[in-house]
Structure 1
Amino acid sequence: MRTRFQIEKRKDVAGNLLSADRPVFMSVTFGGNRVIIGTGIKVDMNGWDADLQKIQVAYPGAQGFNNWLESMQDIAGKTMEALQHSGEELSPENFRQLYQRLKPKYSGGFFNLFFQFMESNSPNWSNATYRKVRTLYKLLREFDDQSLSPISFHKLDAQFLEDFIAFCQKKGYQYSTIYKTVNNLVWFLNWATDKGYNVYREYKEFYKQMNAPDQKSQTPLFLHWGELMQLKEYPTDNRRMERVRDLFCFMCFAGLRFSELQRLQKEDLKEGGIVIRGQGGGVRVIPMNTYALQIRQKYENKYYLNNTAFPSMSIITMNKYLRLMGKDLGLNRMIYTAIAGEEGLPLYRRLTAGTAVNTFIKNAIEMEVPVEIISRFTGVQNDSRVRRFKSDLAIEEMKKFNL
């Protein structure tokens, strides 16, 4: 399937090319078929970038318009995927009908809709509620300004959440404050979804990816070195499972987050080092150990969409296959939270992509890597996980006196 955007080129009765308020169309081609869908956007001819197939940045309202075009392209891809799995004929008529059912209402962009959310609901809010929502609006604006990719509904996924949490931590927010802030964001997203402006549901996983402030584990979840080696050597003929195994282990050996792994380009993997480019423009370099280098070499001569260093996958896919492999390997070490009376669960059932950074930190501390170096590699200064792991290690060391 291929999607393209184009502006209407039509002449008036005098034969002159019309240039004002020209409609933009999306063309979807598949299997020798073509479907033309109106975007609802009109733009002057001089505001259209034909090469990039988007509205020029300087054109009024360009960011909202371009976000809408990205959403349309994304929905077209989801429509094709759903149609292929439905068993129905891949015809232009079926594609158009399903697309019309899946697409959201036009909103003019994330922040325009957020402002509408405040305007339409503020008469029913207390002053405290209005200030809380207004603060969130300003915080998201600030995050958007320093981000390499503007906020839009189809990008509100696990990677967004991780980047947003890191942004809030750098501003000095406590974990409980961040949790409440995300809770308010989900409130807005539920409103947008109910109104038909948002059709993306990844944000509903945010709560599963965060621990409530009073439910945080005393020690972050991690793999012991032996458990990590078991996973590294896990045999499989399933290509997707193989990729999950390799990419998760690469994160464990390099101290990378899932969002950072997904952003890595071929040129970011230098000889012996990994260049991590932050959303705010910062750069850090992580030397590669032997284990990380072996995985990098396995993928260095393979090429993926957008020249990424590794194949892309969703965090949901990674978590799913991690747990399947963990169960098969017998990773049954019981994990308990700090909640009194809560039953423990075997390790494999709690495995997620986020376990990788914790695994790196835990094993680095046990190998006596200085805390300053660990913090520099992981990119988070004063990381509370480092302090908690060191505290646990100190307790274990003192137990050596219990002869």
Structure 2
Amino acid sequence: MNNVSVRLVFDRKHVATKKHQASVQVEVTYQRKRKYFGTGIKLYADQWGKDLKVKNHPQSLVFNQKLNDMISGIHDYVYQLSTQKIPFTFERLDQHLGNYGADTTKSFLHFMRKRINERQIAESTRIKHKCVLKALEEFGKIKNFSDICYENIKAYDEFAKKRCKHQSSVYNYHKILKIFVREAHAAQLISVDPYQNFKLERGKSTVRRFLTKEELAKIEVRRIDDISLNRVRDVFLFCCYTGLAYADLKEFDFKDAIMTNGMYRIRYNRVKTGTPYNISLMDKAMDILRKYDFKLPIISNQKYNAYLKVLGAFCGVKKRLTSHVARHTFATTITLANGVRIEVVSKMLGHTNIRTTQLYAHIYQAEVDKEFERLNNIV
């Protein structure tokens, strides 16, 4: 479906003048066929620029945002069809767009798409929000503000349960949608917030994998001749001894470290939440930094996780290694298992809520219980 092209066209029939308006349309081309979709925007000849944007109009910003949203929405829809292996047709696109161009003031989907682009959030969070928007478009029963009611939210819940394996994922589907429903309610675009009466089940949190002391040692002592894999091992271990998430690792710069009480300390704000975190670089972390002249060999997250899968197998660790496993290992094996108070661990990790940190404590307690059962069988 890569041969679907989308562009804006103004005054297709060449009738616009400074006194006569013409329409802005979206041209979609597929397999040498093209179709035009209205945007609801009409302009004079001097109100359209060579950069394909509205100019010299009191609502230029609003119109350009609307056009950008429409183009983005079509690209997203085409990608959605591709991932689901559904053939693209103009009829499907026509049905998807509906009356999008005619009146966006009634469209909740337009409102949600616009707010996703406007909100000051991490890009990873924005991607999650867009995934929920795509799911909502697929759901099909909530398009306009008038569709937001208790019955449709309940139907959306059933829809999410069919898509997700875990209740915690269903909860997140609602959690994101609820943000925009409440924004619409606050802006008086809807009279009632259906989530006030809709009870959400959080579900059980997914188990967070971490390495035991023995598994961590396997990775540390294993001889690795491959240069790339060896670098990935070092970066992974650095995260195990600092608790840095991959997004924060990318922003790490030793130049920002401050010497305090004989140790270098790093104070940053987490990329994901903006919450401050505070860590001191232990000797093992410093050894890794010195090895690379204090500039870690960072690669893309996708390549990093691919290498970690190989690293785990090569070192005889049965657990699937990911960038998150290192952070979880720091929270459990490195800190909680060695008596660090949970309130301190929370500050180290930069958690916004100590309840998040308590999940690690529960996991570690389960590991303790397992060892007691093992000892009981031996003794």
TM-score, normalised with respect to structure 1: 0.46
Higher Cα Rg: structure 1 or 2?
Answer: 2
